[in-house]
């Protein structure tokens, strides 16, 4: 079909294609015929009520701002522009993308639960401290935003980056609270 901008925009929205697709089709002067065929569907597009709920959960979790979107994008090898389209332009991800993003969040959540369990003891072990430092050092976690009190976040960031030598034990309750909130916020269907 000969390129028509309105028709192209409609197809791109319908199939959740990347925004750059419009420029590509415009430069070629045509829209691929397969998108115009009756009953055409992308095979791996996430569909159904369950996928819609997971998609909403993922968007909600990223909206809290405690997980670095672009780091997750790089980790999962999803183009950053595609990840932005998924999260901010309501473009439905493919089934594989949806499952990969869900799994990445779930792994961060499991790690936080494990650390919280280790730190909830009377004496915080070296293992707990090491795991906490590793968690806060992850590129996927925005350390300073994890904490409600920015001073606590800054102190933990300094410790995580080596500007503070020892674990700031006086912040144990704030760390437990931050982990608890993170675990609650990352709950998904």
Give the pLDDT confidence score for residue 34 in this predicted structure.
81
| pLDDT beneath 50, residues of the chain | none
Rounded to 5°, angle at Cα 110 from 183 and 134 = 95
State the number of CA atoms in the 13 A half-sphere of 21 facing the CB.
Answer: 19
Domain ranges of the chain: 1-42, 104-185
State the number of CA atoms in the 13 A half-sphere of 24 facing the CB.
Answer: 8
Strand partners, 26: none
Query: Do residues 78 and 100 lie in contact, with contact meaning Cβ atoms separated by under 8 Å?
Result: yes
Give the pLDDT confidence score for residue 121 in this predicted structure.
85
Q: How many CB atoms lie within 10 A of CB 84?
A: 16
Query: Do residues 68 and 141 lie in contact, with contact meaning Cβ atoms separated by under 8 Å?
Result: yes
Strand partners, 45: 94
| Tally of residues, the chain | 189
Query: Do residues 79 and 73 lie in contact, with contact meaning Cβ atoms separated by under 8 Å?
Result: yes
pTM: predicted TM-score of the whole model, two decimal places:
0.75
Decide: residue 55, CB within 10 A, 0-12 exposed, 13-18 middle, 19+ buried.
Answer: buried
Give the pLDDT confidence score for residue 113 in this predicted structure.
96
Give the pLDDT confidence score for residue 60 in this predicted structure.
95
């Amino acid at each position: 079909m000969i390129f028509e901008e309105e028709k192209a925009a409609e197809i791109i929205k319908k199939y959740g294609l990347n925004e750059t697709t419009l420029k590509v089709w415009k430069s070629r002067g045509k829209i691929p015929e397969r998108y115009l065929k009756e009953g055409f569907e992308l095979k791996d597009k996430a569909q159904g009520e369950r996928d819609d709920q997971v998609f909403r959960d993922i968007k909600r979790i990223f909206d809290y701002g405690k997980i670095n979107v672009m780091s997750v994008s790089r980790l999962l090898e999803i183009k950053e522009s595609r990840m932005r389209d998924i999260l901010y332009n309501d473009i439905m991800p493919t089934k594989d993308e949806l499952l990969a993003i869900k799994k990445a969040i779930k792994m961060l959540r499991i790690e936080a639960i494990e650390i919280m369990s280790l730190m909830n003891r009377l004496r915080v072990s070296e293992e707990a401290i090491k795991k906490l430092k590793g968690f806060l050092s992850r590129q996927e976690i925005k350390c300073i935003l994890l904490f409600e009190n920015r001073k606590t976040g800054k102190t933990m960031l300094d410790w995580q980056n080596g500007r503070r030598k020892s674990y700031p034990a006086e912040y144990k309750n704030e760390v437990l609270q931050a982990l608890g909130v993170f675990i609650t916020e990352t709950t998904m269907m």
